[in-house]
Structure 1
Amino acid sequence: MAMTDTTMRAVQFDRAGGPEVLQLRDVPVPAPAAGQVLVRVHAASVNPRDVMSRRTRFGRFPRGTGMDYAGEVVEAGPGGAGDLRPGQPVWGYFGPVRTATGAAADYLVVGREQVAAAPAGLDAVSAAALPTVGTTALQALRDHLRLRPGHRLLVVGAAGGVGGVTVQLGRAMGAHVTAVAGASNADFCRELGADRVLDYDSAEPDGLEPRFDALVDCHGAAPRRYQRLLRRGGRGVEIAVRAFPFALRSWLVGPRVGLLISRPRRRDMEELAGYVDRGALRPVVEQVYPLTAVQDAHRAVESGHARGKRVLDLTR
């Protein structure tokens, strides 16, 4: 695929603040260096960590936004891209944005560990909804909680982006899944594979039996309240998405509930693709926006009310 464009659209901001600081600009198309791949972005999702980054005053400006994406390979830097070829559908996740462009741009340069072949059968919008929340849920269940078949898993905030994937992966790994969500999302959580759904407002967690082997707290609203439900030797993890001193958060959640900050790894993207291809994992997209409506997408994520992901469609 010949590279002909020299400029591209990219969302940037020059100062920390609300969604209004996000601006759509024309900037030069980046060139991949050795060990990098240039990707044409077709879709990118908006995450709570994008909101947190937008509010952060530290770091250089202008700064981009958007951590996960789906698109196609344009070209590789010197040395090639291994098994990735021009025109191949790919997806990926590269962590918090500290540079002038992020995934909310027509083109993106990423390292080879931050990009993988996209699952077969998913369109770009659907694929873009999974990388960040998928790798977060996978690393929580597989690496931190060491989930095994027959374990009893409690997912707090089960209707959101990470929570919905955690429910699905927990079920696929053979766990009995109890979801905690709002009453209006009970049926939705069951559709994702939850064996039992508890209402945030009416559930009495202290009286629940039996005790759980694993806990994933996607909200961090009341970590000690749910930690008491872990059996002796059980493990828990809180998903870190808020601007809060990590050392203090680790102390607050207690000795058996760790703090998870996910890391992009290509092998995790490949493992997620396998779950999708086997029909064990599906993306949940709540709303799709054109790139010009990026401020609206950030406002929606900032509201804290979610059933799945908000995704930017760069082809519109």
Structure 2
Amino acid sequence: MKAIVQDRYGSPDVLRFGEVDKPVVGDHEVLVRVRAAAVNARDWHLMRGDPYVARLVLGLTRPKERIRGTDFAGVVETVGRDVTRLRPGDEVFGEADGAFAEYVCASQDVVGAKPSNLTFEQAAAVPLAGNTALMGLRDLGRVRPGQRVLVNGASGGVGTFAVQIAKAFGAEVTGVCSTKNADLVRSLGADHVIDYTREDFTRNEPRYDVVFDLVGNRSLAECRRALTPSGTLVLSGGGVSEGGSLFGPMGLIIKGQALSRFAGRQRLLVLTAEPKRENLAALTELVERGDVSPVVDRTYPLGEAAEAIRYLEVEHARAKVVVTV
């Protein structure tokens, strides 16, 4: 099958479009013929081997997982002998390593039925970013109707979902983004938009019940200043950054964990989003109800996946970038 393969760390130039063996389905897995796959900051970090400390797990000198890509949408081709929920021909979406390929194997526990009102390209944009937004706001932020929620990085892949999900939960939402993305964030339902090139959300009124920081460009002290006395700061590691680093976004996360015990009534929480079929079902309900709609910035054919990642890395794409297969 055709796939985007990587044999060493580096820029998008290390990615090649080539032939690899078709994956063999395991007992608890499904083999999916991929129709579309989304690009995430995670793909950029894996490609670069950034932060360097992550190479202890990813592979010291070269990536253990050679095929890039995580989010996918497609059609079930084959199911393992212990799979009972899915069958060949089902349209599905989910997360699994190796999604930039014609076929991908995934555990049945991280695959869900594709929302009926989305194209494959739209559905591929949902899993990782949508799950991150859902867990950050529902599970950690515990967002309730009437609360004030601020999303820092509102025009990004996760941010565009976070704005919509917070609104669906009944919150008064403020989105922080650049001038060029202000109209997009408003169109997603944000009640207020702060242009970070003109205003500093950490110095403005009002204070927020939940601050969901998806950028990591402000100190913890500054972010806490934007909270109510009993507010919650949810850290999600930051987005794409330039150049390699030893700890990268993990540095802020470690600091957040260390300082959380001294935060008094405020809550400082670090999000570790894990794929779950139940969360895909919750996202599907929000999508089919019309509360959430994925925003796709650009699409690229599979053979140009390296350019898709380059666009995400260099141009700081808004919303989602999708690869079609």
Structure-to-structure mapping, 1:138-217, within 5 angstroms: 138-217=134-213
Structure-to-structure mapping, 1:248-259, within 5 angstroms: 248-253=251-256, 254-255=259-260, 256-259=267-270
Q: Are the counterparts in 1 of residues 237 and 253 from structure 2 also a CA contact under 8 Å?
A: no
Offset, 1:173: 0.4
Number of residues of Structure 1 aligned to a counterpart in Structure 2: 300
Structure-to-structure mapping, 1:26-105, within 5 angstroms: 26-56=19-49, 57=55, 58-59=58-59, 60-61=63-64, 63-79=66-82, 81-94=83-96, 97=97, 102-105=98-101
Match of 1:226 among 223, 227, 230: 223
Q: Are the counterparts in 2 of residues 118 and 127 from structure 1 also a CA contact under 8 Å?
A: yes
Structure 1 runs, 4 residues or longer, greater than 4 Å off: none
The 1:312–1:179 alpha-carbon spacing in structure 2 relative to 1, beyond 3 Å, is: same
- Post-superposition Cα deviations, 1:12-61, rounded to whole Å, max 9, x if no partner, equal 11100000000111112112111111110000011011000111154254
Structure-to-structure mapping, 1:1-40, within 5 angstroms: 8-40=1-33
Q: Are the counterparts in 2 of residues 15 and 61 from structure 1 also a CA contact under 8 Å?
A: no
- Post-superposition Cα deviations, 1:78-104, rounded to whole Å, max 9, x if no partner, equal 12x22212111100013xx4xxxx000
Give me the whole-angstrom Cα distance separating, in 2, the residues matched to 1:251 and 1:12.
32
The 1:193–1:92 alpha-carbon spacing in structure 2 relative to 1, beyond 3 Å, is: same
Q: Are the counterparts in 2 of residues 52 and 241 from structure 1 also a CA contact under 8 Å?
A: no
Normalised by the size of structure 1, how large is the TM-score? 0.91
Q: Are the counterparts in 1 of residues 237 and 250 from structure 2 also a CA contact under 8 Å?
A: no
The 1:245–1:157 alpha-carbon spacing in structure 2 relative to 1, beyond 3 Å, is: closer
Q: Are the counterparts in 2 of residues 15 and 62 from structure 1 also a CA contact under 8 Å?
A: no
Give me the whole-angstrom Cα distance separating, in 2, the residues matched to 1:240 and 1:134.
15
2:300 pairs with 1:289: yes
Q: Are the counterparts in 1 of residues 223 and 233 from structure 2 also a CA contact under 8 Å?
A: no
Task: Identify the residue that residue 264 of structure 2 maps to in structure 1.
Answer: none
The 1:62–1:236 alpha-carbon spacing in structure 2 relative to 1, beyond 3 Å, is: closer
Q: Are the counterparts in 2 of residues 89 and 118 from structure 1 also a CA contact under 8 Å?
A: yes
Q: Are the counterparts in 2 of residues 51 and 302 from structure 1 also a CA contact under 8 Å?
A: yes
3-state secondary structure, aligned to 1:69: strand
Task: Identify the residue that residue 235 of structure 2 maps to in structure 1.
Answer: 238
Q: Are the counterparts in 2 of residues 178 and 197 from structure 1 also a CA contact under 8 Å?
A: yes
Task: Identify the residue that residue 287 of structure 2 maps to in structure 1.
Answer: 276
The 1:62–1:209 alpha-carbon spacing in structure 2 relative to 1, beyond 3 Å, is: closer
3-state secondary structure, aligned to 2:3: strand
The 1:207–1:55 alpha-carbon spacing in structure 2 relative to 1, beyond 3 Å, is: closer
Task: Identify the residue that residue 5 of structure 1 maps to in structure 2.
Answer: none
User: Please, which runs of 5 or more residues in structure 1 have no aligned partner?
Assistant: 1-7
Q: Give the aligned residue type for 1:216.
A: F
Q: Give the aligned residue type for 2:288.
A: D
Offset, 1:206: 4.0
| CA RMSD after TM alignment | 1.6
Q: Give the aligned residue type for 2:305.
A: V
- Post-superposition Cα deviations, 1:179-224, rounded to whole Å, max 9, x if no partner, equal 1111111111110010000010111334422311001111111043
Give me the whole-angstrom Cα distance separating, in 1, the residues matched to 2:8 and 2:173.
42
Normalised by the size of structure 2, how large is the TM-score? 0.88
Q: Are the counterparts in 2 of residues 13 and 61 from structure 1 also a CA contact under 8 Å?
A: no
Give me the whole-angstrom Cα distance separating, in 1, the residues matched to 2:48 and 2:237.
16
Give me the whole-angstrom Cα distance separating, in 1, the residues matched to 2:301 and 2:107.
26
The 1:251–1:21 alpha-carbon spacing in structure 2 relative to 1, beyond 3 Å, is: closer
